[in-house]
Structures are given as structure tokens and as C-alpha cells.
A and B are shown apart, each in its own frame.
Chain A
Amino acid sequence: MTHLVILDYEAVQALQGPDHHKHRRVVSQAQVVASRKRRAVAIQMVVPTAVRVEAGWDRSSPAWGFPNRLRIADSPLDTASTNSAAAIRGRTGVSVADSHIGAVIHSASHHQITVVTSDPGDMRLVADDKNITVAAI
């Protein structure tokens, strides 16, 4: 059983800012992931790189030290995922960042996929027929 947790724009913003009103909620998600990893559960948090662009997450900036150190992997916008994201954007009209989330969802082979998001509707739209769990923040 493998579990992929994808962060959207607002989840990233909330994680970065201790004063953000949803900070504790997203930190709680990260804490659950850390606790499960400790129990050898195959769970991974990722951020699509287009989401990082939209959120202004620069890994070389000290301002992003906390999220950087949380072992959240980049899911890059490579050729294949760009094609997939472009098709999703054409079909749905959502933002580039959300289209990239859709591409990550469609390319993932994990048993369970959870998207931490403030926009459940758009996430279900980009996921289309792929089964996802939406953790609304």
C-alpha cells in the first residue's frame, strides 16, 4: 500500500507561514505523514513544481526553510507531464498549477492519492475518472 500526498498552492502557502490561519491544519497533515513514515508506512508528500512557482517557493530562499526541511519532494514538469497538464488545462480551463496537479495525479501509480487543497472542486475536475481523496483545508 503506497500513499501519495500532493500539496496545492494554498496548502504550500499555509505550511510556509506560521501566521497563516491554516498553518496548524497543514502542519497536522505533515505530522501525520511523519508519524506514519516512522511506522514504515509507504507515504510521501510531493509538490508539483508549477505549484511551487505559483506559491513563490524558492528552495534557495531562507524564507522557505521549514517546508524545505520537511522532505517534500518536487514533482517536476517534464515533457510527459507538460503534455498531460496542457491537455487537462485545455479540457478544464483550470490554472497551470492545478493542471500540473492533475498531471501528477494521472501519472501516479500509488494505491492512494490525497490532495491537500482549498479547492476540492477543481481537484476533482482535474482528477477526472482517477480516484483521489481530497483533504479540504
Chain B
Amino acid sequence: MTDAALDLNHLRSWIGKTEEVSDIITPRLTAALRATLEALVMQAVLDDHYERYPQARPDLGDLAVAAAELDGHPLAGQPRRLRQAAAEITANHPDASPDDVLLWAEARTLPAA
């Protein structure tokens, strides 16, 4: 009981006090925050769509091809090679990204040292 009373007294000491905090917001920061929110919304919409239409869910090979096409990557015209790279990388790295696949596929095109 004594402890509770002490806590209450401590809390009462906060009454009427204020704290001001300021920060700087820039167009770049607002754009980044907007992009973050948009990404979350887009992903939620896509996840919902995949749940309704499982056949629409792209696999890593599809995403690697899409990433290459969007970027105009030199391997964009070689979807079979990208899908093969995706299959290889997924075996050891299940969480690989499409960009990881592109990197791996690119490395595979280089001559062995």
C-alpha cells in the first residue's frame, strides 16, 4: 500500500508539466514516408490477391524476369537462364531476392577465373 501511494505521488508530480519536441521534415523525408506506406499498402493488396488467386502468385523466377525487364537488364531477354538461376539459388537461399538472382545469373555468365 505504501509503495502504491508513493507511485501515485510520483505520478501526481507530472500533472501540469509539458514537454516539447521538434524535428525537421523535408520533402525527401515525406516522400520516403509516403513510399513506405505505399509499399505496405501495395503488399497487403498483393497478398490479398494471392490468397484469392493462388495461380497469380509469382515465383522467384517470375520476379527475377520482371526485375530484369523493368531495369532493361542485359539478361532480360533470357528468361530461361534467369529461371534456372532462381532454381539454383533457391536451393541454398530460400529467402533470396530477385536482385540476388540477377546477380547470380550474371556471375554464371562470366568465364571461370
Contact = CB atoms under 8 A, between A and B. Distances in A.
A135 B35 contact: no
A69 B41 contact: yes
Interface residues on A, range: 20 to 34
A114 B66 CA distance: 12
Interface string A27-52: 11111111101101110000000000
Given A28-B65, A35-B97, A42-B35, A5 B45 contact: no
Interface string B13-37: 0000000000000000001100110
Contacts of A70: 42, 45-46
Interface residues of B, number: 31
B58 A18 contact: no
Contact of A24 (B42, B45, B62): B62
Contact of A31 (B35, B55, B63, B71): B63
Contacts of B76: 135
B51 interface: no
A133 B45 contact: no
B39 A133 contact: no
A74 to B, nearest CB: 15
B46 A27 contact: yes
B8 interface: no
B70 A38 contact: no
B112 to A, nearest CB: 30
A53 interface: no
A5 B69 CA distance: 11
A41 B38 CA distance: 12
Given A18-B53, A37-B38, A66-B45, A29 B72 contact: no
18 contacts: A24-B58, A24-B62, A27-B49, A31-B58, A31-B66, A32-B70, A34-B43, A34-B46, A37-B36, A37-B38, A66-B49, A70-B42, A112-B72, A114-B70, A116-B69, A135-B66, A135-B76, A136-B69
Given A33-B70, A114-B71, A135-B76, 11 more contacts: A3-B70, A29-B66, A32-B63, A32-B66, A34-B43, A37-B42, A40-B32, A40-B36, A66-B45, A69-B41, A114-B70
